[in-house]
Amino acid sequence: MLPLKTDERQKSEYSKIGNFSFWVVYISLSISILVQLIMKAQFQVIVGELVCFLIGSASIIVGYIVKGLSCFKKPSILVSLACAFIGSLLDFFIVIIRTYVANGDLSNLFPQAIIRPVCVFVAVFILVWLIGTMAKKQELKLEKKFED
């Protein structure tokens, strides 16, 4: 909540501080979830953190789409592929580490280490492409609205 008497500079500073604080919490939460996943935490233990992370993610995505904002000039297959590759690589390493910690060997790894990261790759690619496309359409719609 902002104090009663604030000028534009103060409002801007409050917004910057809030934005920075949100990202600190968001990144800390994502790191916490990843560490717990690697350490084979049970789903019941991380469900609260995961729900908070997903709510934060959804609010960011919806906010960016509604305002027509995107990190990139236009939706790109290259950007979607890069994000999908990073997500699937991260999942691949989580699977390897969790399997090694649980069993002490990697002999029974093949199906899980290939199928799951491929599914993650496809899902992330589609999501990033859709989000970029929707944000670009909204940006064009807002530009047209404010041109008139």
Q: One-letter amino acid identity for 64?
A: Y
Locate 17 and state its tokens: 């501080």
Residue 123, pLDDT score: 86
Locate 123 and state its tokens: 């899902």
pLDDT band at 24 (very low <50, low <70, confident <90, very high): very high
**Measured between alpha carbons, how far is 39 from 131 in angstroms, rounded to an integer?**
31
Q: Where are the alpha helices (DSSP H) in the chain?
A: 8-38, 43-67, 77-103, 110-147
pLDDT band at 42 (very low <50, low <70, confident <90, very high): confident
Domain limits of the chain? 8-67, 68-148
pTM of the model: 0.62
Residue 71, pLDDT score: 64
Residue 74, pLDDT score: 63
Kindly tell me the burial class for residue 142, based on how many C-beta atoms sit within 10 Å of its own C-beta (0-12, 13-18, 19 or more). Answer: middle
Locate 69 and state its tokens: 């904002």
CA 41 to each of CA 16, 37, 38, 96: distance values in angstroms, whole numbers, following the listed order: 35, 6, 8, 15
The string of pLDDT tens digits covering residues 61-117 is 888 778 877 666 666 777 778 888 888 888 787 777 777 666 776 666 777 777 878
